[in-house]
Every structure is written in structure tokens, then in C-alpha cells.
Amino acid sequence: MSFLPALAIGLQAAAPVIGGVVEAKGLRREARALDEGARRDESQGAADGVAAYRESRMAIGEDMAALAGSGFAIGSGSAQDVLSQALIEREMEGMNIRHQAYLQAEEKRAAATDRRKAAKTAIYMGILNGATAAIGGAAQQRSDAQAAQRGASTRATQRAGYGLGS
């Protein structure tokens, strides 16, 4: 096998491998961006949950002041029940905010994991496609060489049959 056909086979094999590596690099970049988005979602959810809690405490304080200003006894009875219920509902709101942020972050982490798996698959497929191209190229080279050899043999036989010599 001469140099140029071997080089051609090498290039045929390298192209899919390089393509797989490039694709994997892009997929890993996407995975890192998704991971960062998940961290931001969780941080923002925690901050929003704290803000909702603070707002609820301020609102309950205002409600207590309004009830006390109206002459209600805020430490007992229905006024306390109303304030306790409001506190529970607002704390649930903060928990829901944090939980929603957690779910969004988990979605992004799952997508990042999928991208990493796809990156590995891209590399494996690039290697397999490169190997297939190399084997196919080598088989084609061999087939071409055998055909050329048969052609030369046939021409020599024909010349000998016509008395032309070799």
C-alpha cells in the first residue's frame, strides 16, 4: 500500500472521530450551562422564599397592629386563629417557592446529565464510524488492487494467447 491511499484511509477514519469530539465538546458546554442554571434557580428560589417569609411577617405585624388598634385582643380567640392561619399560609407560600425552584433546578440537572451521556455517545460513535471508514477504505484498496492484478493477469494471458509474448 502506498502513502497516498494510506493517507486517504487515515483521513476517512479521522473525520468521524473529530466530528464526535467536536459534538461532545458542545454537549459538555451545554451541560455546564444547565448546571449553572440549576445553581442559579436554587439560589434565586431560596432568596425568593426568604423574601416571601419577610413580607409575610411584615404583613402579619401590620394585621396585628390593625387588630390591636380596633380593640381586639390579639393574643387569644378568633384574632389569634386568623393570624396563625395567615402565618401558616404565608410560610407555605415560601416553601412552595423554594420547592418550585428546586424542581426547576432538578430538571436542568437531569438535562445536563443527558447532555453528558450524549457527549460520551458522540465520542463512541465517532470512533466506531472512524473504524468503519478505515476498514471500508482498506477493503476498497484491497479490492482495487485485486482488480488491477486480475486485469494485468488477463491482459498477459490474452497477449500470450495471441502469440505476442509477455
30 within some domain: yes
Residue 67 lies in a domain: yes
- Please indicate, yes or no, if residue 63 is contained in any of the structural domains: yes
Using CA atoms, how far apart are residues 89 and 26, in angstroms rounded to an integer?
Answer: 45
CB 116 within 8 A of CB 28: yes
Q: CB-based contacts of 85: which residues, under 8 Å, 6+ apart?
A: none
Domain containing 19 equals: 14-130
| pLDDT one digit per residue (tens) for the chain, 166 residues | 577 778 888 888 899 999 999 999 999 999 999 999 999 999 999 999 999 888 888 888 888 888 788 877 777 777 778 778 888 888 899 899 999 999 999 999 999 999 999 999 999 999 999 999 999 888 888 888 788 787 767 666 666 656 555 5
Buried b / exposed e over 134-161, threshold 16 CB at 10 Å, is beebbeebeeeeeeeeeeeeeeeeeeee
CB under 8 Å to 135, separation ≥6 — which residues? none
* pTM confidence score: 0.68
Number of domains in the chain: 1
Length of the chain: 166
Residue 116 is assigned to a structural domain of this protein: yes
**Could you tell me if residue 143 is inside a domain?**
no
Please indicate, yes or no, if residue 158 is contained in any of the structural domains: no
Residue 19 falls inside a structural domain: yes
User: Could you tell me if residue 160 is inside a domain?
Assistant: no
DSSP state of 123: H
